[in-house]
Amino acid sequence: MAGNQVKTKNPSQKQKSGGGGGGKKKEVKKETGLGLTNKKAENFGEWYSEVVVNSEMIEYYDISGCYILRPWAMSIWESMQAFFDPEIKKLKIKNCYFPLFVSPGVLEKEKEHVEGFAPEVAWVTKSGKTDLDVPIAIRPTSETVMYPYFSKWIRGHRDLPLKLNQWCNVVRWEFSNPTPFIRSREFLWQEGHTAFATKEEADKEVLDILELYRRIYEEYLAIPVIKGKKSELEKFAGGLYTTSVEAFIPNTGRGIQGATSHCLGQNFSKMFDIEFEDENREKAKVWQNSWAYSTRTIGVMVMVHGDDKGLVLPPKVASIQVIVIPVPYKDADTQGILDACSATVNTLVEAGIRAESDLRDNYSPGWKYSHWEMKGVPLRIEIGPKDLANQQVRAVRRDNGAKIDIKSVDSVEEIKKLLGNIQQNLLEVAKQKRDECIQVIHTWDEFVQALGQKKMILAPWCDEEEVEVDVKARTKGETGAAKTLCSPFEQPELPEGTKCFASGKPAKKWSYWGRSY
């Protein structure tokens, strides 16, 4: 990642947020009470690095590019998993697990695929102090791990379709700028691998899965995405075609590939001899797909929604949707306020709302406000003497800071409504910001100007690989080269006679272009 890259700090520079409640009050306030030292609009990379640490999402590890995912981050991953896993099971996809290690003979069997991953493959070469006779690779992805066994398990048409998914980690070693969630040497993901008798079945599943990925981003993470097809240059190595959901980070002017669903065609089935006997007892190669999304999704969420106070979490993925904070003044009925806080939490939890109270007495209410704002909790409930007397609570939204007084008897209904409004507002605001960055262009000069303005560019294209290579070469610089992000499935009208912006040849489609992560 060049240009607006996200630089991570040295582990010795990390800051603690004091979320555990231990330690001296003064020391903790000094470290976290003033919030972030970098602003999102001024120094995006340092801002991002601060947010993911101070919000207690990650901790730095002593191996570069590896990060500890703390519970605040893992709970978001689990929320997405809780949605996605039942959905793929509706499609009769079954979970499995394959080993982490890959023999070099198998890995190198599919030449084009291996070349695409070769720089990223990590190898085990020793056992203790003894050199291994044959080095063992650590999976960067699992096509070559799984497909020798597909060949063993698939014999006849009754063995199809074979639909497997695994939740696992992968290791990709080669990169210059490690970034929490966005680019790390080890990350969590799911990877689906399926085999069909016909291309039609494979084509349908590619889009079914892509729609689930859209739903993860838009319905859960409140991030607008564009569904489309990758260019031949950008498709998955060894695949037939690749579809993706593409997000955009307005602050950096960079696109980011959110998740991919690939049709592998028969490339791998030919290489690994995965064939079946059809109803006519004739041999045929299977059609295959692979698809995945990873913990990169969490990084995209931080980048899109976060602000100068820290994280902003969509309610659907927040492990704590509502934090209840007592605000006792001098001579107030402190115990009564604490009891009201506990009762409010119990009422909300019984109604299915993820709520907790912060009753720690060694922090001021103001410090607690900043702490939970840093962690991005969608809704804060304050209860003070006035609220106690009026049998109400004060709700403060994390997304826009709006304050609303709610009668205690109406708290469940009103808070559910507020959480729904926050979820929807986050998506609408993100979409508005994204759309303001989309620039439709027709000429090379317009393209260069829009690229300099950090736009997501929609341009007519002749769909020729050498033209894309030329665009990359002509735009290469310190901030990285421009490339195609995807050709959207929802194509605007392309008037007859429209020319490609880069070559002047007849345009065949509209494509999104820009710099990317």
pLDDT tens digits, residue range 447-477? 999 999 999 999 999 999 999 999 999 999 8
Summarize the confidence of residues 85-90 as an average pLDDT: 98
Whether the pLDDT of residue 14 is over 90: the answer is: no
Has residue 508 got a pLDDT over 90?
yes
pLDDT of 322 over the 50 cut:
yes
Query: Chain centroid to CA 251: how far?
Result: 17
What percent of the chain shows pLDDT beyond 70? 92
Per-domain boundaries in the chain: 57-305, 322-434, 441-515
Assigned CATH topology for domain 441-515: Translation Initiation Factor IF3 (3.30.110)
Per-residue pLDDT band for 35 (boundaries 50, 70, 90) equals confident
Average pLDDT over residues 373-381: 98
Query: What average pLDDT does the chain have?
Result: 91
- Residue 169 near residue 290, CB atoms below 8 Å: no
Of 99-103, 227-231, 241-245, 344-348, where does mean pLDDT reach its minimum?
Answer: 99-103
Model confidence over 188-200: pLDDT tens digits? Answer: 999 999 999 999 9
Share of the chain above pLDDT 90, in %: 85
* pLDDT computed for residue 2 by the predictor: 38
CA 58 to chain centre: 15
- Give residue-wise pLDDT tens across range 53-66: 999 999 999 999 99
Transcribe 364-409 into DSSP letters: -HHHHHHHHHHTT-SEEEEE-HHHHHHTEEEEEETTT--EEEEEGG
Assess whether pLDDT exceeds 90 at residue 259: yes
Q: What is the value of pTM for the model shown? A: 0.91
Strand-pairing partners, residue 244, are 228, 260
Top-tier CATH class for 322-434: alpha beta
Contact in structure between 17 and 72 (CB atoms under 8 Å)? no
pLDDT for res 181: 96
Residue 3 φ/ψ region, left for φ over 0, alpha for ψ in the -120 to 50 degree band, beta for the rest = left
pLDDT of the residue at 112: 62
Predicted confidence band of residue 360 (pLDDT cuts 50, 70, 90): very high
Q: What CATH class does 57-305 carry?
A: alpha beta
- Where is pLDDT greater, at 477 or 130? 130
Q: Which residue has the higher pLDDT, 349 or 8?
A: 349
- Would the pLDDT of 114 be above 70? no
CA–CA–CA angle 65, 69, 72 (5° rounding): 145
Look at strands 122-127 and 483-488 and give their pairing.
unpaired
Q: Where are the alpha helices (DSSP H) in 154-193?
A: none
Q: What is the pLDDT of residue 332?
A: 82
Give SS3 for 51. Answer: helix
Any idea which residue has 């299915």 for tokens? 352
Can you point out the beta strands (E) in 201-306?
226-229, 241-249, 254-265, 275-277, 283-285, 287-294
Q: If phi over 0 gives left and psi between -120 and 50 gives alpha, with beta otherwise, what is residue 281?
A: left
Question: Residue 460 is encoded by which pair of tokens?
Answer: 């007519």
pLDDT at res. 104 = 86
